[in-house]
Amino acid sequence: MTELEQFADTLKRGFDGNSWQGRSLSELLTDIGPEQAIVHPVAQAHSIWEIVLHIRVWHEVVRRRMAGQSVQPSDTESFPECAGGASEWQRAVEALRQSTYETATAICHFPVARLEDRVPGKNYAYRHLLSGIATHDDYHAGQIALLKKALV
């Protein structure tokens, strides 16, 4: 498995299972309904729904940076507002699934020769960006796990 395939595999495992750190995002979200996803069980913390939208936003940021764009979302863009019912919640989860796989595919197709190139507007290389997106997702999966415990 190439380094890029490893980055992509780690990202996909963090979403769909067989990740070493614990329950995957899809496993954590399976039994969450819109009423649970939208509440803030921990003061000054984001909701599960906000975190799901945030992860998807950052997948897009990574893909745009891979395409050479210098992009930095604002706080409002990074954590979009959420509203709606069951169908909107299911669309958000499905959009996260799709985004995960689109990002993994983009990582696999990224030119190996560019891994040490600097990300536009940043002081780090693409290797750091592409290995870091899975870590970002896993970090937020941990937050979701804790928020689920706070719901009970």
Q: pTM, whole model, 2 decimals?
A: 0.95
| Number of domains, the chain | 1
Confidence category of residue 22, pLDDT binned at 50, 70, 90:
confident
Distance CA 144, CA 25 (A): 8
Q: Which domain holds residue 139?
A: 3-151
pLDDT digits (tens, 9 = 90+) for 27-80: 999 999 999 999 999 999 999 999 999 999 999 999 999 999 999 999 999 999
To the nearest 10°, the Cα dihedral for 101, 104, 106, 112? -170
pLDDT at res. 152: 77
CA distance 152 to 141: 18
CATH number at residue 12: 1.20.120.450
17 pLDDT band, cuts 50/70/90, is confident
Closest CA to 104 of 74, 43, 138, 59: 59
Q: What is the mean pLDDT of residues 6-34?
A: 92
Average pLDDT over the chain, rounded to an integer? 95
In this prediction, residues 136-140 reach a mean pLDDT of 96
94 pLDDT higher than 80: yes
Average pLDDT over residues 98-112: 98
**Which SS3 state, helix, strand or coil, does residue 19 take?**
coil
Element (H, E) at 109: none
